Amino acid sequence: MLSSTADHLYWMARSIERAENAARMLDVTYNMSLLQRTGVDPFNEWRAMLSISGLHVDFETRYPEPSAENVLYFMALDAQNPGSIYQSIFKARENARAVRRTITSEMWETLNQTWLEMRRIQEETIPEDGMSRFFEWVKERSHLSRGITHGTLLRDDAFRFLRLGSFIERADNTARILDVKYHILLPSPSEVGGAADYYQWSALLRSVSSFESYRKVYRDQITPQRVAELLILRGDMPRSLMACMSEVDRLIVELNGPRSAELLRRSGMLHSELRYGTIKDIFDFGLHEYLSSFLERIYELGDLVNTTYFWSVDE
Amino acid sequence: MLTAKLDRVPNPVAEMKLAFDEMRDANGLVRESYRSFAQWMESTPAEVIARKREEADITFHRVGITFAVYGEDEGKERLIPFDIVPRIISAKEWKRVEDGLRQRVKALNAFIHDIYHGQEIIKAGRIPLQQILGNSQFRKEMVGVDVPGNIYAHIAGVDLVRADTSAASGEYFVLEDNLRTPSGVSYMLEDRKMMMRLFPELFARQAIAPVEHYPDKLLNNLRSVAPAGANDPNVVVLTPGQFNSAYFEHAFLAQQMGVELVEGNDLVVRDHTVYMRTTDGLRQVDVIYRRIDDDYLDPLAFRKDSALGVPGLFAAYCAGRVTLANAVGTGIADDKAMYIHVPEMIRFYCGEEPILPNVPTWELSKPDDYRYVLDHLAEVVVKEVHGSGGYGMLVGPTSSKEELRVFREKIIAEPARYIAQPTLALSTCPTFVETGVAPRHIDLRPYVLSGKDVTMVPGGLTRVALKEGSLVVNSSQGGGTKDTWVLEH
């Protein structure tokens, strides 16, 4: 397959996944921010959200303060923010457009329709209490496009590059969502175990559609260790790091290619560590430290995908 | 001398009303070639036809056979109107057209080769040297460069029009030789597919020559001109990208031929060899069917600001490591100033008289022609020597006084930029319009493939000017298309 085609497919999938996860992350942040606590910076949650997305510098240059209204607009609708949902949907559609002949017409039509609706929504601007509905819409469009891909696309390398993009992006995003909690709790560690703590962990679970699964798996109260275990190590949780990495690893094995040795090695290692790791080791190491290192390695993996399949420097 | 020849062409304005009708003769009787179709149309209820026309519209929209129009909003893609009344050509008529096209394209290829090598035709005094050297389409970089099989115009889209003259009824004239990147063949294929889908019974009634194998013929043709030594030549289609007005066609042809559609940055040149970047590493490319103009092919050789091209491509081409179709520098032969000399090229290279005549043409750089045209501006068609696509032309009889005045000034400012031709009453074909079925002017663009042999599929693309009385058939100017039938006997 042409490198540029693979590149478009991969970024098309990453952009859709990124839009969906931004919606999830904003949703959980919004819910957490509703729980006002005395003596805590009122913009605490929103600051955390910006810093884990790595977008705080861009935000601060253009907005006066990280209020709910500002951050929601910036992250959801701001056309100048390359990480906004608006921009992610735009990129997904532009990449799809470039490979219209490779994807199925249903896939193209769905993404094109999503983009047209996104443009209309952006022009109308959303009231703050309409945000949840908007996030639902983003998730639904992402589910729809994933479903259509599954239901219509030939299982060849095009399909694999799409999946590769989805799972690398999702691994990155799940790690970031888990890290939200760390950033929010930092100012007042004394609250651990309190009502607010419980509320925050359950909001986090809900944001990755895992609340019911948690109940099913543990049949017990919510504890940080179990939430982390569920979202990091459980292979049967579709958004966990383990589930993402086992897909990524399998796809890289299937794609293979003459330059993929280093990529195979790295993804295999990351996958094995998750597979044989324990939550106790992760907590002993420090959850935040663990997630930061994971994010770094998933970033390097993405870089390696790029040089292996799309833009090799040594050719 | 040329003016004298033109005097034999009857008054074009008077003739407009009496354009050659493809379906009926002067007495209103249906011509032999249309008889079966006319019977079908009479016996088919109007509602059925209306429903089928609607179906065609919906299908074209869904399939997305659109083109982008320059100057319009990005994303506003327009549908080219499709008319269900076919243009029908008898077997005998086509035989002559085909012979004429073959002869003409052979001569054109011989001419381009000659111009970049021995320049015998100039030495023989048949074409003035100045017309070559002073021509912006002349690529001095191509002098002495050998190309496989000495073929330059691998794909030619020759525009033919049909008109009555005092000598013959419904004579075919060559209006233009498009030798750079002629487009429109995807519409020919889609129109046929649509007609077979809508009216299968029509194809059962009479033997209509197939055109569906064009992509196979094109692929064979491209492979036949691969550089020597390429066993299983790898062919690609090179497009400027999805914002080009003909992108649909580029993607369509690549898909139909089963080859990759690439943009400039998909290709890379190493040691005079062209490769495409794939997920499995570099893969050699042997033949590039390029839909990018010469100027943008290679920033190292031509326009330095070209972001569409491939650095080093021209050097690889000159080294004989890759074939470009069409070749670099073919524009020298499809220039409107050079058009005048094509009949002479046929005599010179083929030793034959031209089978298909040119439309008589005035060169405004010549004082006599210049005077004649300015005196008769309201009767003639004026075109830019280097123009294409129906942009920047004047159709005298349908222009307002103001338009004529403005154009007159343009001509006076730069006479050599223009040529003029009599306003031919292009033949008409019955066409569905808002008020029912009415005659509309048409032309014909057959696609002639040159490689090991010169081949073509019967017919081509028929374009129709949908506005009443309009002679401009270009899709960018509101033209539509029709399926073209060549009867097998």
**pTM of structure:** 0.83
| Average pLDDT for A220-243 | 93
User: How far does the CA of residue A15 sit from the closest CA of chain B (Å)?
Assistant: 20
pLDDT of residue B392: 76
pLDDT of residue B135: 84
| Average pLDDT for A96-101 | 88
Q: What tokens were used for B180?
A: 């750079």
pLDDT of residue B305: 87
User: How far does the CA of residue B270 sit from the closest CA of chain A (Å)?
Assistant: 9
Identify the bridge partners of residue B278 per DSSP, sorted by sequence position: A2, B281
Q: Which residues of chain B have pLDDT under 50?
A: 1-16, 68-75
Find the CB nearest A258 among B255, B266, B281: B281
Find the CB nearest A1 among B251, B265, B278: B278
This complex has an ipTM of 0.81
Q: Quick check: A185 pLDDT over 70? A: no
pLDDT of residue A179: 87
Residues of chain A neighbouring B277 (CB-CB closer than 8 A)? 2-4, 310-312, 315
Which residues, 6+ apart, have CB-to-CB distance to B261 below 8 Å? A101, B236, B237, B239, B250, B251, B254, B255
Q: Quick check: A285 pLDDT over 90? A: yes
As a whole-number percent, the residues of chain A with pLDDT over 90 amount to 66
SS3 label, residue B182: coil
CB B268 to CB A259 under 8 A?
Answer: no
User: How far does the CA of residue A287 sit from the closest CA of chain B (Å)?
Assistant: 36
A-B contacts at Cβ under 8 angstroms: 48
The answer to the question of residue A182 being in a domain is yes
Which residues, 6+ apart, have CB-to-CB distance to B94 below 8 Å? B209, B458, B459, B486, B487
pLDDT one-digit tens code per residue, B375-406: 999 999 998 887 665 667 888 888 899 999 99
Strand-strand pairing, B394-395 and B380-384: antiparallel
B429, B41 contact by CB (below 8 A): no
Find the CB nearest B278 among A3, A98, A101: A3
B295, B303 contact by CB (below 8 A): yes
Q: Which domain holds residue A14?
A: 3-310
Q: Quick check: A100 pLDDT over 60? A: yes
The answer to the question of residue A297 being in a domain is yes
| Average pLDDT for A232-246 | 96
**Helix (H), strand (E) at residue B433:** strand B428-433
pLDDT of residue A135: 94
Axis crossing angle, helix A241-255 with helix A224-232, rounded to the nearest 10? 10
pLDDT of residue B73: 41
| Average pLDDT for A110-139 | 89
| Average pLDDT for A188-208 | 75
Q: Quick check: A313 pLDDT over 70? A: no
Q: Of chain B residues 247-286, which have a CB less than 8 A from chain A? A: 251, 254-255, 260-263, 265-266, 268, 270, 275-282
- Closest chain B residue to A252, measured at CA: B279
Which range, A29-33, A112-116, B17-21, has the best average confidence (pLDDT)? A112-116
In sequence order, which ranges of A222-278 are alpha helices (DSSP H)?
224-232, 241-255, 261-276
CB B278 to CB A97 under 8 A?
Answer: no
The answer to the question of residue A315 being in a domain is no
CB B281 to CB A309 under 8 A?
Answer: no
pLDDT of residue B26: 86
Residues of chain B neighbouring A157 (CB-CB closer than 8 A)? 279
Which residues, 6+ apart, have CB-to-CB distance to B431 below 8 Å? B83, B85, B437, B438, B439, B440, B464, B466, B480, B482
Strand-strand pairing, B418-422 and B380-384: antiparallel
CB A101 to CB B260 under 8 A?
Answer: no
Residues of chain B neighbouring A309 (CB-CB closer than 8 A)? 279
Residues of chain B neighbouring A255 (CB-CB closer than 8 A)? 279
Q: Quick check: A125 pLDDT over 80? A: no
The answer to the question of residue A225 being in a domain is yes
Q: What tokens were used for B315?
A: 């050097």
Q: How many domains does chain A have?
A: 1
Residue for token pair 């012979």: B99
CB A3 to CB B242 under 8 A?
Answer: no
Number of alpha carbons in the 13 Å side-chain half-sphere of residue A219: 0
| Average pLDDT for A120-140 | 88
Residues of chain B neighbouring A101 (CB-CB closer than 8 A)? 251, 254-255, 261
pLDDT of residue B315: 97
DSSP B296-343: GT-TTTS-TT-SSS-TTHHHHHHTTSSEEESPTTTHHHHSHHHHTTHH
